[in-house]
Every structure is written in C-alpha cells, then in structure tokens.
C-alpha cells in the first residue's frame, strides 16, 4: 500500500512538472505567433512554479516576451519604459541564474548579437535587442521634442551597454540640458573610461558642470586628467588657469600661464589672467602691459578693455590719494605736476572704456565711469552726453545711486 501511495505521488509530481513545461511551451508558441499577452501570462505562471521557476531558460523567455512587448508599443510613454526596464531586470536575472557567462548556454543567448534592420522574425530578442529598441525610442522621442522621455530611453540603452559611446553621449548631453547633472556626470563618466574615445568635448562639459556645482577641486581634477590626454588643447589650458586662480594657487597659476603663453602668445584670455596675477602681486606696470597686450590680440575683448581702463584709473587715483595726503606747503609745490600725471592716466583710460561700452552698449556702469572721467578732465560736452544717456536709462537721480 505504501509503495502504491509513493508511486501515485511520483506520478503526480511528474504530471505537475510536465504540465508546467507545457505552460513554457505554450508561452514560446504564443511568443512566436505574436500573442504576447497570452505569452506573458503563461511565462509568469511558469516562473512562479518551483521547477520551471528555477530554470534560467524560463526567465530568458520572459525577458524576450517583455522585450517584444516593449518594441511593439509605439506610444513610448513612461509605461513603455517600465516594460523595457522590467525586461532588462529579467535578462539580468536569467544571466545570473545561468552563471553570468556570456560565452556559453543561456548567457550567450542573453547577449546574442542584434543587428539593427534585421526582420523581426530573425531578431534574437536578446538584451542587445532591448538596447537597440530603447535607442530607437530615445531618438523618436528626441525628434518629437519630448526630451525627458528621450533621456529615459537613452539611459535604459546605456544600462545595457556601458561602452556604447553614442548612447552615453546622447544621454549625457540631454541630461545636462535638462539640469540632471548627476545623471549627466554618470554618462560622461562612462565615456571618460573608454580609452580610445575622443573625449575632449566631454572634458569641457564635465568642467562646466562641476564648476557650476561650485566644486572647483573636482573640476580641477578633471582638467588635469584632460590636460594629460590633450596637452596641447588651449581651452583646457585656460580652464586650468581659471581654476587655479579660483583655488588661490597663484604660483601654479602663473607657471601654467607662462607655459600656455609659450604655445599661444596672442591668447587674449590668458594675457588677461597673467595681468591679473601680476596686479595681485603688486606689479602694476607688468599687469598694465599684459592687459594692453590682450586688447592688441583682440580689440573686441571686453574684459581686456575694461581691465586696462580700470587699472589706468587706479593709477590716477593712487597719485591723487598721495597728493591729498601731503602737507599744505608740499601740496602747493607738487599739485600741478601730480594732477597733470593723474589726468594723463584718465585720458589714456577713455578709449578703453569707450571700446568696452561699444561692445556692451547698455552697460550703465561704464557710462557712469566715462561721465566721471570727462567731468574730471573738464570735457563738459562729453560728460553731458553720458549724463543724458544715464538720465534716459536710470532716471534724473541716477547719480545718487553711484
């Protein structure tokens, strides 16, 4: 009697296992015929069974069904993305259950090569099929100006393949535009890890993101990595100097400036920074020389014109401050000469401020400076010209705010 009961139990177990395998075969059949809802119902039942649910082939089939559903959904909404993410997770589960080996068995099928443009019935419906479908959906959403969903689909494609440079550049670029800076850094970081990739633009973007986050130390580290990869790049050289100044590393900044000027002696931006460092060190003559050189290199360089004019005014004010501190008798003896020297610097500053105003025609601060300079020089017509402009732009009491 016990043997009979045992035999019946074995038969029951065998019948149940056979029934579950039959469900898997039904899922395969429905998958191939295109009845994806029925296929998904079947494979979910099989994955919940102790026997077929322990077989990685069941999860591979489930991921393939989810991928086909994902690809057939042309709405490309958050719901579509959710299906694609589920497929990605299921592929990974199948791969792990099979031993995480891309060269053999289920693992090889999970990563079977998928060539875009192949007819649907010939596609392997592997994780790489999921990647290509997600990439296409990202492109479709981007062209439809739905950049939020475009990013999400490119991000999904990037989860599949950490080495696809097009995918990660697209995802990083869109994330940066959307202000998703952590996401942008993630994708750009993958690109920086790819040795043969031309990553110069990525370095630029990473520096801008990190600088915007007020993280100059991290930005400087990225610049130095970029300088190692692209030692001749002039933009990275300028970024390096700018960050060194921001980090108050003056000696290193000056060394970098001198090195940069050997390769690019007419770079207006670097000449300006050289002048700034000299001014901070108290070398006003050297600073003024570099500021003037920056304007010669680029006459339309606003900062060069402004800094030159400002330093000339500073030299004038220093003379007048020295004069005003003199005792009365000495003041009488030296006022004419020292006042004349100050006026020469004032006159020299005028064309630099006029050029700066030409470049930025609505800058009322420069108008006020020119008004004050011409007033000092007794150029009444010029002073009145700027007074009228300032009244027009700021009102009759503009001078009270200056």
Q: What is the pTM of this model?
A: 0.70
Compute the distance between CA of residue 201 and CA of residue 173 in angstroms, rounded to an integer: 10
pLDDT in tens, 265-275: 999 999 998 99
Compute the distance between CA of residue 161 and CA of residue 7 in angstroms, rounded to an integer: 51
Domain extent listing, the chain = 19-161, 364-402
Question: In this structure, what token pair is assigned to residue 10?
Answer: 């074995």
The predicted structure's pLDDT at residue 73: 97
Q: How many residues does the chain have?
A: 402
Question: In this structure, what token pair is assigned to residue 212?
Answer: 């915007």
Q: Which residue has the tokens 């190692």?
A: 228
Compute the distance between CA of residue 375 and CA of residue 367 in angstroms, rounded to an integer: 12
List the CATH code of the domain at 19-161: 1.25.40.10
Q: How is residue 230 annotated by DSSP?
A: -
Residues of the chain whose pLDDT is less than 50?
1-18
Compute the distance between CA of residue 133 and CA of residue 136 in angstroms, rounded to an integer: 5
Compute the distance between CA of residue 192 and CA of residue 201 in angstroms, rounded to an integer: 11
The predicted structure's pLDDT at residue 199: 95
125: left (phi over 0), alpha (psi -120 to 50) or beta: left
The predicted structure's pLDDT at residue 20: 57
Cα–Cα distances (Å) from 176 to 225, 259, 279, 280, 355, in that order, read 21, 32, 37, 35, 35
Sign of the CA dihedral with 355 first, then 359, 361, and 365 last = negative
Question: In this structure, what token pair is assigned to residue 373?
Answer: 């300079």
The predicted structure's pLDDT at residue 14: 43
- Output the CA angle 25-31-33, nearest 5 degrees: 105
The predicted structure's pLDDT at residue 284: 93
- Output the CA angle 204-205-209, nearest 5 degrees: 120
Compute the distance between CA of residue 109 and CA of residue 99 in angstroms, rounded to an integer: 13
Cβ-Cβ contacts under 8 Å for 229 (sequence gap 6 or more): 199, 200, 203
The predicted structure's pLDDT at residue 401: 65
């Amino acid at each position: 009697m016990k043997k009979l009961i045992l035999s019946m139990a074995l038969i029951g177990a065998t019948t149940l296992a056979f029934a579950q395998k039959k469900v898997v075969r039904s899922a395969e059949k429905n998958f191939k015929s295109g009845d994806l809802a029925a296929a998904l119902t079947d494979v979910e039942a099989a994955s919940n069974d102790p026997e077929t649910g322990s077989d990685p082939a069941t999860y591979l089939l489930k991921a393939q069904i989810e991928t086909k559903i994902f690809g057939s959904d042309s709405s490309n909404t958050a719901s579509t993305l959710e299906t694609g993410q589920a497929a990605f997770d299921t592929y990974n589960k199948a791969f792990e259950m099979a031993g995480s080996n891309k060269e053999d068995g289920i693992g090889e099928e999970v990563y079977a090569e998928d060539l875009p443009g192949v007819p649907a019935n010939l596609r392997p419906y592997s994780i790489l099929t999921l990647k290509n479908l997600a990439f296409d959906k990202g492109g479709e959403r981007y062209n439809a100006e739905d950049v939020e969903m475009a990013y999400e689909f490119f991000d999904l494609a990037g989860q599949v393949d950490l080495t696809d440079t097009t995918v990660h550049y697209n995802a990083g670029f869109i994330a940066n535009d959307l202000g998703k800076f952590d996401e942008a850094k993630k994708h750009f970081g993958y690109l920086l890890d790819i040795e043969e990739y031309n990553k110069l633009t990525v370095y630029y973007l990473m520096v801008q993101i990190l600088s915007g986050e007020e993280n100059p130390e991290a930005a400087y580290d990225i610049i130095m990595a970029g300088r190692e990869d692209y030692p001749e790049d002039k933009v990275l050289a300028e970024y390096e100097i700018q960050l060194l100044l921001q980090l108050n590393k003056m000696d290193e900044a000056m060394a970098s400036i001198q090195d940069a000027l050997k390769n690019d002696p007419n770079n207006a931006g670097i000449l300006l920074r050289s002048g700034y460092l000299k001014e901070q060190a108290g070398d006003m003559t050297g600073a003024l020389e570099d500021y003037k050189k920056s304007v010669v290199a680029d006459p339309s360089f606003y900062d060069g014109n402004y800094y030159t004019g400002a330093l000339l005014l500073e030299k004038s004010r220093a003379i007048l401050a020295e004069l005003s501190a003199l005792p009365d008798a000495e003041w009488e003896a030296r006022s004419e000469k020292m006042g004349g020297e100050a006026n020469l610097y004032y006159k020299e500053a005028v064309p630099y401020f006029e050029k700066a105003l030409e470049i930025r025609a609505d800058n009322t601060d420069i108008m006020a400076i020119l008004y004050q300079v011409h007033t000092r020089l007794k150029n009444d017509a010029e002073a009145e010209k700027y007074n009228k402009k300032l009244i027009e732009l700021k009102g009759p009491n503009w001078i009270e705010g200056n």
